[in-house]
Amino acid sequence: MGQVPERPSLDGLEARWGARWEADGTYRFDDGRPREDVYAIDFPPLTVSGSLHVGHVFSYCHTDFLARYQRMRGRAVFYPVGWDDNGLPTERRVENYHGVRCDPSLPYDPGFEPPPGPVKAKAKRPISRPNFVELCRRLTDADEQVFETLWRQLGLSVDWSLAYTTIGERARRASQRGFLRLLAGGEAYQAEAPTLWDVTYRTAVAQAEIEDREVPGVAVRARFGADAAGPDLVIETTRPELLPACVALVAHPDDDRYRDLVGTTATTPLFGVPVPVVAHRLADPGKGTGLAMICTFGDLTDVIWWRELRLPVRSIVTRDGRLQAEPPAGVPANAAWAELAGQTTAEARRRAVELLRTTGGLAGEPRPVTHPVKFYENGDRPLEIVTSRQWFVRLLDHRERLLELGRALEWQPPWMQTRYEHWVRGLHSDWLVSRQRFFGVPIPLWYPLNEAGEVDHEHPIAPDEARLPVDPSTDVPDGYQATDRGRPGGFTGDPDVFDTWATSSLTPQIAGGWEEDPERFAKVFPMQLRPQAHEIIRTWLFYTTVRSDFEHGTLPWSRAAISGWVVDPDRRKMSKSKGNVVTPTAMLERYGADALRYWAAGGRPGTDTAVDEGQMRVGRRLAIKLLNSARFILGLADDGPGAGHPAAALDMAMLAGLDAVVADATQALEASDWTAALERAERFFWSFCDDYLELVKDRAYQEGTPAGASARVALRAALDIQVRLLAPYLPYTCEEVWSWWRDGSVHLAPWPEPAPARAAADRRPLEAASQVIAAIRRAKSQARLPLRTPVARAEVSGPPAWLDAVRAAEADLAAAGRVAAFGYRERPHAEGLDTRVELATAEEATT
């Protein structure tokens, strides 16, 4: 037990209690508890790269409210924290900072040490994948230290001893094991296929990582030569640079303008290549001229046309986003090609327009347009479509099953399920899991090389699970020697890594000890809660469901709680590019963690919330009020444990009202409605301070009387309950107050429950007294007199039962309102109470 300070303050609470919780292991998961007691949370791995803003804080707080509530309910909360550190942004920073680039063909150099400090190198130094990964990990380790400090300060009650990283050994092992099992089960396959490709990062990307952006472009009308001697055929395109990649023209089968042309041949401008005119239902008569050129590949529709119409490939865009040096088969290496070869697609576009213009191939002037273009969500150049060999996980075959799982999951809010539903219904390709990057989990496969030194992709060599994790760029498959690497008849490692989602889709398995701690895993999996933001339903939530179903045949959790966005005060989504990002550090410094959490609590599940410093101020005020009221209550005489129950009707009324609050708050939190629970508790607390506390203050000072003891016992009981009700929201303040007169942590104290003994108590005395004291204060305020002004007489009228309620609190009212005399008038049919106040100064007011 501690001491009640003279002047309570919020300063220093975060440092003091943060250290204490860590030292005491307050939030440690207890492995000894049975499965039915466990509440396991699949918490989003904290992002170390990218910009940090209050949006993160916002949703993490929501989870923490629920975790703290469940812990107080007596559950063994499994609340691990992860670091999501594998991925592209980290690679980018390492490349730029150290002036290096990864070359997976190089052997590991154990002695490699980057120069200290940033390197400004034009040509980046090539280093091996293991060396590169080492640098990435050094960088993320340092970042994680900084971030951990912040998250700790925020008061997240995660179990830091369960921390994992998505690039760490456990994660790599789980990720590779999971993949090998998919491979063995036939759910993972490789294919050579056109895929969306980011030319900056030079990697394939999956459907889920794409976003549309409106960008300026030009609509160009180009003339194709018609079969026979007919007039030119005019197509409209925004990608004239792909003319050499054109393999056909397409129109809708019902389009009368072009019906007769289907089956004939057209000739491309600039290159004179003959291409067939074909019909397909996806050709839109309303767009452009109704006649479109099919290129390999300008967009995803091209891919569909190419596949369904069995067209040849004439690819011209290379993996770095430039047109290749040599034209594809069937296209002449003429002067036009010489103009375009080697150019970026953007530059080639401009040149193609000029070429068309000078050769008369242009039909009308190019028209500036704004149109949606697909981008990789982290990229800044439009995606191209290139053909490459990639690994996929089957999704389309399992669509129905995945839809069923989505329906079996408890969604909060429920309408978020439609996001999932639509996504699964709209899937058009399997999950592309391979990435041509380096700081990720390596694909754990090797391939044999035949006698000609060619890679035999059809017979991948998988390691035994016991060897995991492996890095095929340095590890050697069983049955081979290190010297066999790259040699005809030898082997080569798969150069790629997994998509980060392929690993983070296993967070329940990684955190829960899948195949590594079977006893624990059986206790925590499937988990109870998956909190996350709605923009990653299609990725994290979806993929986790997929992996859990493939591996365990079950949903990974029973409930998904989807949080909303944080928007800026103008209700715009917060993003770095808009420059409207609010960082949590500044807010923490200015208002404190409890205040920030209070603001976050105002965001209902699934709804967007604006950054509102006003709410943070209110939260801070609430915390200070709690400290001060606790100081007052605990500063009164302590009647000890033998004081018995409160006897006064007003005291029992207050406690009975508080019991109702407890019941409501509990119900709300059971439904994960942290906002309603806080609102209820907070509202009670303020009226408790404003009315009840003021009413009984005088009596509470009386020592040695039963009435005084009753007030003091009630005050302490009410404080005890309210501190526990608010503990999930204001963990620091509540812990501080708790420590003044209680042992142990409030966060391990039992959640309050209504007392049966008070269930029948009449709540009217407090309500009636509050009304009367309000009327008295109003009278004084309207008379512009201080509140200490005496009242000569207060006459209360109303129904008899309510008058009795007032009488029960008359002594307290007299003291609090300085009322000399009370009068009562029965008005049996009145709606409520009416109080006439005669001030001692002879002035008068009525309400």
Partner RNA sequence: GGGCGUGUAGCUCUGCUGGCCAGAGCGCGUCGCUUACAACGACGAGGUCACAGGUUCGAGCCCUGUCACGCCCACCA
For residue 521, the number of C-alpha atoms closer than 13 Å in the C-beta half-sphere is 14
Q: Which residues lie below 8 Å from residue 825, measured CB to CB, with a gap of 6+?
A: 795, 796, 797
180 vs 261, beta carbon nearer RNA: 261
614 vs 641, beta carbon nearer RNA: 614
What residues between 9 and 48 interact with RNA by CB under 7 A?
9-10
Tokens standing for residue 561: 């709680």
Tokens standing for residue 745: 């942590």
Distance of closest approach, residue 381 Cβ to RNA, in angstroms: 14
Buried b or exposed e, range 5-29, using 16+ CB within 10 angstroms: eeebebeebbeebbeebeeeebbeb
262 vs 373, beta carbon nearer RNA: 373
Tokens standing for residue 207: 């459907």
**Residue 97 CA to chain centroid, in angstroms?**
28
288 binds RNA (CB under 7 A): yes
Please report the sign of the dihedral spanned by the C-alpha atoms of residue 395, residue 396, residue 401, residue 406.
Answer: positive
Q: Helices in 469-531 by DSSP H: which ranges?
A: 500-504, 507-512, 518-524
Q: Which of 253, 683, 757, 821 binds RNA (CB under 7 A)?
A: 683
Q: Which of 423, 446, 540, 740 binds RNA (CB under 7 A)?
A: 423
Distance of closest approach, residue 412 Cβ to RNA, in angstroms: 13
625 binds RNA (CB under 7 A): yes
Strand ranges of the sheet holding 210-224, from the earlier edge strand across to the other edge? 233-237, 210-224, 367-376
The one segment of 145-153, 448-456, 674-682, 732-740 that binds RNA by CB under 7 A: 674-682
Element holding 56 (H helix, E strand): helix 54-72
Q: Which of 145, 450, 481, 628 binds RNA (CB under 7 A)?
A: 628
Q: Which of 227, 339, 347, 612 binds RNA (CB under 7 A)?
A: 612
Tokens standing for residue 708: 């005084």
The one segment of 102-110, 280-288, 519-527, 713-721 that binds RNA by CB under 7 A: 280-288
Tokens standing for residue 710: 């009753």
The one segment of 56-64, 204-212, 460-468, 803-811 that binds RNA by CB under 7 A: 204-212
491 vs 591, beta carbon nearer RNA: 591
Site string for RNA, 763-792 (x = CB under 7 A): -----------x--xx-xxx-xxxxx----
Tokens standing for residue 194: 């056109």
Distance of closest approach, residue 779 Cβ to RNA, in angstroms: 9
Distance of closest approach, residue 417 Cβ to RNA, in angstroms: 9
637 vs 785, beta carbon nearer RNA: 785
**Residue 538 CA to chain centroid, in angstroms?**
12
Is there a contact between 364 and 223 (Cβ–Cβ < 8 Å)?
A: no
Q: What angle do CA 356, 361, 363 make, to 5 degrees?
A: 110
Is there a contact between 563 and 535 (Cβ–Cβ < 8 Å)?
A: no
Tokens standing for residue 107: 């052997």
What residues between 709 and 738 interact with RNA by CB under 7 A?
none
Distance of closest approach, residue 782 Cβ to RNA, in angstroms: 6
What residues between 558 and 587 interact with RNA by CB under 7 A?
565, 567, 569, 571-573
Task: Report the relative pairing of strands 834-839 and 844-846 from DSSP bridges.
Answer: antiparallel
615 binds RNA (CB under 7 A): yes
Q: Which of 141, 169, 256, 284 binds RNA (CB under 7 A)?
A: 284
SS3 482: helix
412 binds RNA (CB under 7 A): no
Q: Which residues lie below 8 Å from residue 36, measured CB to CB, with a gap of 6+?
A: none
207 binds RNA (CB under 7 A): yes
Q: Which of 143, 299, 804, 834 binds RNA (CB under 7 A)?
A: 299
Find residue 442's DSSP bridge partners: 497
71 binds RNA (CB under 7 A): no
410 vs 475, beta carbon nearer RNA: 410
Q: Which of 102, 246, 248, 283 binds RNA (CB under 7 A)?
A: 283
Q: Which of 98, 172, 223, 374 binds RNA (CB under 7 A)?
A: 374
Task: Report the relative pairing of strands 246-251 and 367-376 from DSSP bridges.
Answer: unpaired
Tokens standing for residue 300: 């995803």
CA distance 327 to 340: 10
487 vs 578, beta carbon nearer RNA: 578
| C-alpha closest to that of 164 among 174, 156, 154, 155 | 174
Site string for RNA, 443-482 (x = CB under 7 A): ----------------------------------------
235 binds RNA (CB under 7 A): yes
What residues between 98 and 127 interact with RNA by CB under 7 A?
none
Distance of closest approach, residue 393 Cβ to RNA, in angstroms: 17
